[in-house]
Structure 1
């Protein structure tokens, strides 16, 4: 296995397109919060680039740090992984993780100013707390959900200082619930034990609650194309989610396959939110990111 493959596996880069779709959705939340008569431009390309680099830095740094923290346990349970196998040094990985997390904080702060810096600090704190507490089930579920939900927040702050409160909270909580549900399912990955019904409820609420609020507060205009894209993304997300949740009903449960599919489905969730907010082109781009995640999972595991 090449050094590039080892680092790619350590950073779980196959899930990286979901970070892109999260940032796009967060920026659109900021745009949707602007006054109706705002002439634009809605987002400075430099700010978008900064917040995207920042979120990618947070994601990659957090993934590496996870393996650094788990190195001793992986030596026993997953000796084939890059750090316990000796292919990547633990100290080297820790330094790279620290640099990437610093890039994440700086990028999000430069993009969002003081509010963005506060949100970036909260995101960094959640990442570090997750690494300290992820051995316990519920702290891991809550903190991982908060990490993803805060991506919407830092991205929204790159567009405006005061995003609409109900909109940002509902969508961030929705993404957090979805992520928390997937995290709960993933806890049974090593043992192939099903995690029960609660994660499924969390995933369902993560879709239905923000979906309802979007439908009430930001109804789609009566143009055909946005409605078609919304219906297509909704059906695609529903079928994909059901397909991957049904993998948990097999004997033995296909936990890893379910988790990987649901991770890819995060891009479809973003696509549905983007379609409901009227951003057809970005919704289609999010669907393309979903396909890319599935393709990358064929060669680089996302867990």
Structure 2
């Protein structure tokens, strides 16, 4: 195996393109508190923790993937299970270390539970009834990580991102065999709730121009995520559900951008939304799910 092919295989293991959805979490959290203004590099730690979760996911699912998704890097033999487990551990350790370097003890109070929940989801909770709620809590904590010095200030965006993640995770369970009406309805309800939390927050604060940009972004979010979910509700076959799940992953960036715009961080909002526009092109080369 050449070094270039190993790099590509590891990139596929950690779902490299999907990492574009991660920086918006921490930036969104930081935007809610002036005390968090020095944590602009926190997304580096978030991305490392995210990659750790993706690697551990494939290690935990290696036997199931051998049957349902034999093209993935572990069942296809391109990455050994031991390599995937080692990568997950190293990425988690590096992620926690970076958050400590950026945010000190306050960040560790969030990043350590976050790393633990990521591991718990992959190894224990994924197939249980609690699985979607555990996954949702990881993304909510990722938002709070950006505002670790004043986490209460970021509770609304954390709840919004968690609701979005809850819906996408519930829907994703039908990627292989199709979904049921309860799952597709729950996904749509979570998307509506995630946008509603933002709209309720925006209506109470922010400049008029910021509110307009935020509302435009959340409308884009509704179209990007809710549209495919409606199609999955009407036709819940596996292929349609996979497309809706992929759209949910990408569409998170528009929700993050809306929160950033509402806080007056239009530059970062543009970067995050831009990542969402680029991600579908990258996803054609390497799946984010």
TM-score when normalising by structure 1: 0.87
Q: Does 1:282 align with 2:276?
A: no
Q: Distance in 2 between matches of 1:109 and 1:214?
A: 31
**Inter-CA distance 171–228: structure 2 relative to 1 (3 Å threshold):** closer
Aligned to 1:146: 137
Conservation of the 8 A alpha-carbon contact between 1:137 and 1:184 = no
SS in 1 for 2:104: helix
The residue that corresponds to 1:247 in the other structure is: 231
Paired residues for 1:153-192 under 5 Å: 153-157=144-148, 161-163=149-151, 165=152, 167-192=153-178
Note the C-alpha offset of 1:135: 4.1
Distance 1:13 1:151 in 2: 18
Deviation at 1:283, TM superposition (A): 1.5
Is residue 2:61 matched to residue 1:67? no
Query: In the alignment, which residue of structure 1 is the partner of 2:203?
Result: 215
Does residue 264 of the first structure (1) align with residue 250 of the second (2)? yes
1:156 and 1:135 mapped to 2: Cα distance? 27
SS at match of 1:178: helix
Which runs of 5 or more residues in structure 2 are unaligned? none
User: For 1:234 and 1:88, how far apart are their aligned partners in 2?
Assistant: 39
The answer on whether the counterparts of 1:68 and 1:90 sit within 8 Å (CA) in structure 2 is: yes
Aligned residues: 282
Structure 1 range deviating more: 180-189 or 201-210: 201-210
Offset at 1:177?
1.1
Quote the residue 1:121 is aligned against. 112
Q: Which residue of structure 1 lines up, in the alignment, with residue 185 of structure 2?
A: 197
Structure-2 change in CA distance of 1:89 and 1:181 (3 Å): same
Please give the alpha-carbon distance, in whole angstroms, between the structure 1 residues aligned to 2:77 and 2:45: 29
How has the CA–CA distance of structure 1 residues 27 and 290 changed in structure 2, closer, same or farther, with 3 Å as cutoff?
same
Which segments of 5 or more consecutive residues in structure 1 lack a partner in the other structure? 35-41
Question: Which residue is equivalent to 1:38?
Answer: none
User: Which deviations, in whole Å up to 9, do the C-alpha atoms of 1:212-252 show, x marking residues without a partner?
Assistant: 13422xx2224x4x344224313212221232112202363
Structure 1 CA distance for aligned equivalents of residues 29 and 200 of structure 2 = 18
Change (3 A) 1:251 1:187: closer
> Is the 1:21–1:289 contact (alpha carbons within 8 Å) kept by the matching residues of 2?
no
Query: How far does residue 209 in structure 1 lie from its aligned partner after superposition?
Result: 2.1
RMSD of aligned Cα (Å):
1.9
1:94-113 map, 5 Å: 94-113=85-104
Q: What SS does the corresponding residue of 1:232 show, helix, strand or coil? A: helix
Give the aligned partner of residue 17 of structure 2: 14
Tell me, yes or no, if the aligned pair for 1:137 and 1:187 is still in contact at 8 Å: no
Structure 2 CA distance for aligned equivalents of residues 302 and 169 of structure 1? 27
Counterpart contact for 1:170–1:210, Cα < 8 Å:
yes
Superimposed CA distance per residue, residues 165-211 of structure 1 (whole angstroms, 9 cap, x where no aligned partner): 2x422221211111011000000001022424122212221221243
Determine the C-alpha separation between the residues in 1 that align with 2:87 and 2:278: 26
Partners of 1:172 and 1:228 in 2: how far apart? 21
